[in-house]
Amino acid sequence: MGSGHGIGTASGIGGNIGGTGLATLVDPVIVAVPDGKVLCGRDALGHRTQYVSAVSIDAAAYTRRVTTPSALSPEQSHEQSRDGSPGPYAEQEPAQEPAPSRAETPDTAPAEASAGADSAAESTIGQTDGGERTENELRTALGLGPLDWAMPRAMRIYGWIVTGVVGVIAALLRLIGLSHPKTLMFDEIYYVKDAYALWHLGYEANWAKDSDAAFASGDFSGMSTQAAYVVHPQLGKWLIGAGMEVFGPQSSFSWRVMPAIAGIATVLLLTRLTMRLTRSPLLAGLAGLLLAVDGVALTESRIGLLDVFIGFFATLSLYCLVRDREWSRARLARLLAGTRPGARAPHATLRPWLLATGVVLGLTCSIKWSGIYLLAVVGLAVVIWDTLALRRVGARAWFLEGTVAQGVSDFLQTVPVAVVVYVGCWWSWFTHPSAYKHGWTLEQIRDHQPVPFPSLPNSINDFIAYHQQMYEFHVGLASPHTYQSKPYGWLLQTRPTSFFWEDKAQVPQTCSGGDCVQAITSIGNIAIWWSAVVALAVVVIIGVKNRDWRAWVPLIGYLGMYVPWFQYRDRTIFTFYTVAFVPCVVLVLVLALGMGAGLLPPLPGSAGAEAQVAALRNGQIGAGIRPWRGVGARFLGFGPQFGRTPVWTPPVVETDPGMYRIHTKADDGDPEVEAPANAARQADTAGG
């Protein structure tokens, strides 16, 4: 890459900047300027960068502004070409002499140069000379890249390639053998039959006793027209029933295909979300692959339950949330461009991605009520992010503007939208007078009993009374169950849920050493879950230390879909509920690996970016990634056993007395396991 302009190839420089392991230069070059040097190259994201190590005050005059890879100044972003040219200095400044090698250059600059560079680097958007800010300066303060930056075409292609690859892997694991077993297993005895009734009656109905076997064989005569009392909204059962209508309800494949599609779509969504957060096809592909092979995600994609839909819509809501953060901050930078610090914040406006977030969260709540907590956490996160954005740009009265003016707008675009969507998903209940609880208000009036809102239509009062009854059921469910568990053991998968069990009486064949059994157990991939426990602490610490908002994306999932269960620890609850936030578990692990392996460059304006700039200013250019950083990435325990899923799908395996004690010990206070999973069918699991 050398030329007559004083450009010399910087061999050995393409390592970590400042030894932080957070950025790596590709094709680096050194551009000579009077009494100084400029290091140019591409970082791991493909940005064209320009780092300055000044050795005198005169050299500092040739620099514009010390930047991070994602936060070039407006002058740099417009003048640097995308074809690999080293930058404006190679084109505009005459060569003085070949750039000195690293060995010939002092590690530290004279005090005068350091002082000049410090003053240039430490200026912030809110602490300038009072001049007008450019849009790119504001974007940098808000953690966004420059206006004219675009992801390299090759990286975009690689991102879609890995998305397709992990999607194919997820589809193969979820669709092959999906119809086996052909019987209703676990809570399919509730949700699948409810789904059939919804599509044929418009409401859930009661079934004849012991009608499960007949239903699985294609005999649906056990359904009555009497409305059934159910404790979950209808949307998930409508989705299950859609597959039954397409493929025929007599096929077990039909009542599991929609959960399988939801599981595949969740893998694809997580891959794209990770790609958007990290701009790394490697990390995006790793996230999708880990979710594709996780046991909780896999088993619940192969059974007709509701919770896999929660995982899908929750992941989609996080994706919409990230898109809204980018959209709203880009708008803020655009509207404040040309203003001085202390300017009034722009008026709140409709935000399409925030509205989409509200819609998706409404759909999440329409699967199970556990989505309400995610709605609350997401709403709080939006207000906090918006308030901090106003603070970053030095807006006038930023706290009041963010929490009151903008906060009200944020609330109106999420909570009421979610409520409207939730109520809309009950349209079938409203349009069928035979549905459960219809007529309750008339009975109250006839018996001279009070109704919640006498001025509202009877159907609304019926709806409210129904929800009161559902709430009382959920908070009061405490019937013992063989596989109930406590939330404190969920992250370690200490008490998995058995979905299916057939012993020697049902399995006709005999194994070489004796009797055979078939079993499906919803237990997570231990290498993923246990590693994620450590990764969770790493992500929290680094996220807080470096002010990296990306760390909070999966943490929102933990706060909204895991932490609330601790208030119900005495209820009958199960480990398989973790499918709702298993994408966040995987994302935490991938972010921690990316941070540790140096694959996650710091964001503009973050503490990590400031540390990187300080290291560059002092000429600290590392030689490569520290050896220990790659250790975490090698711990992928599923690798040697890839393709073997003996408890996630039901192959016939030989009975081993020791197998009953592998991850099956009951939680403290729970009944010990003395019988296989089918013994638990006598317990009421409708509240799961």
pLDDT value of residue 47: 46
Provide the percentage of residues in the chain whose pLDDT is more than 90.
41
Q: Which two tokens stand for residue 681?
A: 């069918």
pLDDT value of residue 386: 94
Torsion of CA 535, 540, 544, 548, to 10 degrees: 60
Provide the percentage of residues in the chain whose pLDDT is more than 70.
67
Taking alpha carbons only, the member of 207, 268, 265 closest to residue 239 is: 265
Number of structural domains the chain divides into: 2
pLDDT value of residue 599: 79
| Cα→Cα distances 215→220, 253, 502, Å | 5, 14, 19
Taking alpha carbons only, the member of 31, 588, 544 closest to residue 278 is: 588
pLDDT value of residue 624: 41
75 conformational bin, left if phi > 0, alpha if psi -120 to 50, beta if neither: alpha
pLDDT value of residue 452: 83
145, 177, 207 — which closes off a domain? 145
Q: pTM (2 decimals)? A: 0.75
Q: In terms of DSSP H, where are the helices of 202-234?
A: 212-216
Displacement of CA 486 from its chain's centroid (Å): 24
Torsion of CA 198, 203, 208, 211, to 10 degrees: 20
Per the domain annotation, does 55 fall within a domain? yes
CB neighbour class for 564 (10 Å; exposed up to 12, middle 13-18, buried from 19): middle
413, 441, 476 — which closes off a domain? 476
| Cα→Cα distances 203→235, 247, 470, 472, 592, Å | 12, 21, 16, 21, 46
Per the domain annotation, does 523 fall within a domain? no
Q: Which two tokens stand for residue 245?
A: 């209508």
Those residues of the chain that have pLDDT short of 70 are 1-130, 478, 503-515, 604-688
Beta carbons of 244 and 198 less than 8 angstroms apart: no
CB neighbour class for 656 (10 Å; exposed up to 12, middle 13-18, buried from 19): exposed
CB neighbour class for 511 (10 Å; exposed up to 12, middle 13-18, buried from 19): middle
pLDDT value of residue 380: 95
Q: Give the separation between CA 41 and CA 397, rounded to whole angstroms.
A: 41
Q: Which two tokens stand for residue 32?
A: 């000579």
Q: Give the separation between CA 394 and CA 343, rounded to whole angstroms.
A: 7
pLDDT value of residue 130: 61
Beta carbons of 368 and 306 less than 8 angstroms apart: yes
Beta carbons of 482 and 683 less than 8 angstroms apart: yes
221-227's contacts with Cβ under 8 Å and 24+ in sequence apart are 223/193, 223/196, 223/197, 225/201, 225/434, 227/203, 227/434, 227/435, 227/436, 227/437, 227/438
Beta carbons of 169 and 291 less than 8 angstroms apart: no
Q: Which two tokens stand for residue 450?
A: 């009070």
Q: Give the separation between CA 79 and CA 90, rounded to whole angstroms.
A: 12
DSSP H or E stretch at residue 467: helix 458-476
pLDDT value of residue 536: 94
Per the domain annotation, does 528 fall within a domain? no
Per the domain annotation, does 548 fall within a domain? no
pLDDT value of residue 664: 42
Q: Per-residue DSSP letters for 83-124?
A: SS---HHHHHSPP-SPPPPGGGS-SS--HHHHHHHHHHHS-B
Per the domain annotation, does 24 fall within a domain? yes
Among all chains, which residue has been given the structure tokens 């009392």?
229
Per the domain annotation, does 322 fall within a domain? no
Beta carbons of 483 and 680 less than 8 angstroms apart: yes
Q: Which two tokens stand for residue 325?
A: 């953060």
Among all chains, which residue has been given the structure tokens 């943490």?
555
Per the domain annotation, does 138 fall within a domain? yes
- Is residue 409 classed as helix, strand or coil in its secondary structure? helix
Displacement of CA 74 from its chain's centroid (Å): 32
Q: Give the separation between CA 120 and CA 123, rounded to whole angstroms.
A: 6
pLDDT value of residue 511: 62
Task: List the 26-33 sheet strands across, edge first.
Answer: 7-9, 26-33, 36-42, 48-54
Residue 117 structural domain: 7-145
Q: Give the separation between CA 507 and CA 159, rounded to whole angstroms.
A: 45
100, 119, 145 — which closes off a domain? 145
pLDDT value of residue 109: 37
Beta carbons of 601 and 595 less than 8 angstroms apart: no
Beta carbons of 519 and 498 less than 8 angstroms apart: yes
pLDDT value of residue 312: 96
Per the domain annotation, does 16 fall within a domain? yes
Q: Give the separation between CA 367 and CA 308, rounded to whole angstroms.
A: 10
β-pair partners for 31:
7, 38
